[in-house]
């Protein structure tokens, strides 16, 4: 139902569950909520089908055992925990490993077309950090197929979708969620959703950084909405820099080059033509990593009797190694290193297995990857940190608020393994949707109400840049923020630089209070950015503050002044909450893993 409210607060809609975000997690949550009987709406910032999930190319990690019968959920769980340097929420990692195969088969039932083995099973490929080939894939376009399938399912079920609509505030009734407030991007008209349950599925934070694989939507909206609503964030210091992003030409810098290139035989070389990854094998992974080129190459045809190539180490290890080579002066002419599959596989194999990569380099960089190597380098790709949620229900500490996918924290610990993102979206998207619907049903006896004053306050905040005269240009402030995060809170960090970053972020936050946008509310990108900037600044402060506090190096967090992993820090999470207009930080113990799961790490 829709009604027009007085005093310019726009239209209103009433639902049981509102899902913010239409990527893999949001679509799966909406489907689950609908199937549980909830009146459900999806609100997305861009067009349906344009979610950043389509950029997840390599596959969905699930221990289905199609390629290796020895694979099972316990091996996947162990790989995930080891990849996250044991800082993962063990229960989330367990549920993820146990339920991922069913979620993949569910996609297939709904029409997803996967590549096949010669026996007709879903094909599974190798990825860094996974002991066995376990990524269910569709060439190198898996995310696209996943979104296509889920989108088709959601539309067929008749779930309402509000496209090109940005949520700017979570509305509350006392301490409970009461709905969400936002605006239509095309017209600038305001919109209020009344709902006892809101699921955040907004993705990541990459647009706070200068070089990123993330699309324009990734401005930390869900993270900021949650913390402003009273939820806590966890693990925000851990930002994953994917080791392989395009570095040339400048217009495409940061665009993702899938890990599938390395899974299918691609190797990393420096400007001297040497496979340098053998110099960077950490003690933690030495037992399962080949220490010679001969063994590494044999692994592709005989995986039982040889260890994995070091190019398939977890992403944090590979990104740091590339960074070190470039800093040592052994980089490519454009500041990256070479990823070579041309000399390792024939052109037909490359075009069949990596069609998107072939076209991406041919069209954007005029490089034929079947004939010459790619120039690649680390790019801000994924944040392991996010909303602190209950592992079984995906519920935040605010009653009625749920989070799934990249916006939720805990599942990946300090580093995410490739392929785990897509299965994470499916497993916890479903759990978030179901539990949001169950919670909404429980509120029938004590319904929430939206306070009109809160709606008007949200409207005033959203429209404020139009009434500020002589203020800052939002594009200038964003550019300065990206420089700060790139230079001071990047792959390698120090206390001095992090303290400087926090000082700069504080100045930028002050500047952002006086933004001026020109024109009117009809599709006004400057206004949209002015709103997004508030979210980016909240998230950037959380990342820098947590990074300064964690005095060790672990996963996606590397401190030059504390280069070693600290056993004591391995038992602690950093939790961030809002206190007034700033961020409050606390340290809490890691949940204790049961003995039967601990025993898995004692096995060789």
H-helix segments, 164-314: 221-228, 260-263, 293-299
- Confirm if 134 and 421 have CB atoms less than 8 A apart: no
3-state helix/strand/coil string of 302-319: CCCCCCECHHHCCHHHHH
3-state helix/strand/coil string of 507-554: HHHHHHCCECCCCCCCCCHHHHHHHHHHHHHHHHHHHHHHHHHCCCCE
H-helix segments, 110-209: 142-157
Q: Which of 242, 345, 521, 557 is catalytic?
A: 242
CA distance 231 to 524: 30
Instruction: Give the tokens for residue 94.
Output: 């367990």
Q: Which of 52, 130, 141, 262 is catalytic?
A: 262
| The total number of residues written for the chain in this structure | 604
- Measure Cα distances from 315 to 167, 380, 382, 401, 549 in Å: 32, 12, 11, 31, 23
Of 413, 253, 415, residue with least CA distance to 334: 253
**Helices (H) then strands (E): counts for the chain:** 16, 24
Q: Can you tell me whether residue 573 is helix, strand or coil?
A: strand
Strands 197-200 and 17-20: parallel
Active site annotation includes 262: yes
Strands 239-246 and 267-269: unpaired
- Confirm if 420 and 408 have CB atoms less than 8 A apart: no
DSSP character string of 72-138: -HHHHHHHHHHHTTT-S-HHHHHHHHHHHHHHHHHHHHTT----B-TTSSBPEE--TT-SS--EE-S
Rg (Cα) of the chain, in Å, rounded? 23
Query: What's 461's DSSP letter?
Result: H
Strands 233-234 and 572-579: antiparallel
10 Å CB burial of residue 583 (0-12, 13-18, 19+) is buried
Q: Give φ, ψ of 494 to 5 degrees.
A: -135, 160
- Measure Cα distances from 525 to 186, 216, 218, 518 in Å: 10, 11, 15, 10
- CA angle, 193 then 583 then 552, to 5°: 125
Q: Give φ, ψ of 563 to 5 degrees.
A: -75, -15
Strands 558-559 and 233-234: unpaired
CA distance 11 to 5: 6
Strands 374-383 and 337-340: antiparallel
Active site annotation includes 242: yes
Query: What's 575's DSSP letter?
Result: E
H-helix segments, 127-270: 142-157, 221-228, 260-263
- Write out the catalytic residue numbers: 242, 262
């Amino acid at each position: 139902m829709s009604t027009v409210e007085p005093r310019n607060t726009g239209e209103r809609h009433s639902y049981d569950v509102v899902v913010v975000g239409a990527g893999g997690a949001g679509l799966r949550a909406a489907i689950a909520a609908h199937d549980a009987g909830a009146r459900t709406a999806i609100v997305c910032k861009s067009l349906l089908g344009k979610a950043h999930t389509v950029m997840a190319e390599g596959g969905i990690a699930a221990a289905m055992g199609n390629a290796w019968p020895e694979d099972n959920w316990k091996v996947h769980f162990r790989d995930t925990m080891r990849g996250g340097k044991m800082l993962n929420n063990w229960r989330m990692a367990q549920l993820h490993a146990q339920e991922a195969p069913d979620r993949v088969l569910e996609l297939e039932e709904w029409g997803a077309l996967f590549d096949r083995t010669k026996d007709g099973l879903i094909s599974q490929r190798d990825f860094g950090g996974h002991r066995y080939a376990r990524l269910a894939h569709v060439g190198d376009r898996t995310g696209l197929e996943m979104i296509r399938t889920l989108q088709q399912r959601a539309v067929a079920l008749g779930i309402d979708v509000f496209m090109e609509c940005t949520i700017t505030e979570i509305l509350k009734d006392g301490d409970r969620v009461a709905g969400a407030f936002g605006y239509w991007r095309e017209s600038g008209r305001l919109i209020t959703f009344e709902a006892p349950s809101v699921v955040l599925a907004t993705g990541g934070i990459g647009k706070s950084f200068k070089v990123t694989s993330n699309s324009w939507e990734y401005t930390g909206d869900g993270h900021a909405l949650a913390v402003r609503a009273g939820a806590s964030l966890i693990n925000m210091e851990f930002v994953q820099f994917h080791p392989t992003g395009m570095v040339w030409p400048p217009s495409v810098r940061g665009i993702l080059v899938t890990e599938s290139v390395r899974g299918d035989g691609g190797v990393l070389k420096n400007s001297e033509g040497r496979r340098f990854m053998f110099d960077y094998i950490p003690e933690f992974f030495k037992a399962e990593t080949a220490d010679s080129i001969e063994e590494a190459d044999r692994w592709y045809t005989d995986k039982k009797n040889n260890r994995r190539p070091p190019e398939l180490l977890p992403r944090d290890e590979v990104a740091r190694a590339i960074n070190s080579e470039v800093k040592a002066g052994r980089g490519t002419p454009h500041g990256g290193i070479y990823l070579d599959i041309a000399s390792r596989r024939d052109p037909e194999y490359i075009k069949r297995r990596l069609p998107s990569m072939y076209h991406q380099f041919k069209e954007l960089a005029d490089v034929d990857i079947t004939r010459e190597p790619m120039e690649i380098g680390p790019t801000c790709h994924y944040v392991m940190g996010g909303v602190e949620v209950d592992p079984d229900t995906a519920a935040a500490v605010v009653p009625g608020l749920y989070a799934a996918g990249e916006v939720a924290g805990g599942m990946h610990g300090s580093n995410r393994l490739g392929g785990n993102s897509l299965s994470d979206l499916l497993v916890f998207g479903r759990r978030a949707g179901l539990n949001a619907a169950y919670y909404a049903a429980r509120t029938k006896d004590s319904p929430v109400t939206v306070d009109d004053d809160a709606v008007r306050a949200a409207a005033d905040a959203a429209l404020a840049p139009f009434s500020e005269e002589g203020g800052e240009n939002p594009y200038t402030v964003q550019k300065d923020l990206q420089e700060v995060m790139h230079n001071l809170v990047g792959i390698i960090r120090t206390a001095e630089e992090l303290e400087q970053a926090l000082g700069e972020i504080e100045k930028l936050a002050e500047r952002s209070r006086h933004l001026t946008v020109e024109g009117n509310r009809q599709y006004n990108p400057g206004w949209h950015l002015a709103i997004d900037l508030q979210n980016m600044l909240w998230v950037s402060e959380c990342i820098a503050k947590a990074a300064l506090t964690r005095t060790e190096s672990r996963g996606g967090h590397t401190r030059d002044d504390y280069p070693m992993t600290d056993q004591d820090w391995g038992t602690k999470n950093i939790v961030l909450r809002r206190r007034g207009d700033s961020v409050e930080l606390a340290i809490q113990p890691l949940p204790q893993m049961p003995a039967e799961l601990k025993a898995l790490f004692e096995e060789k």
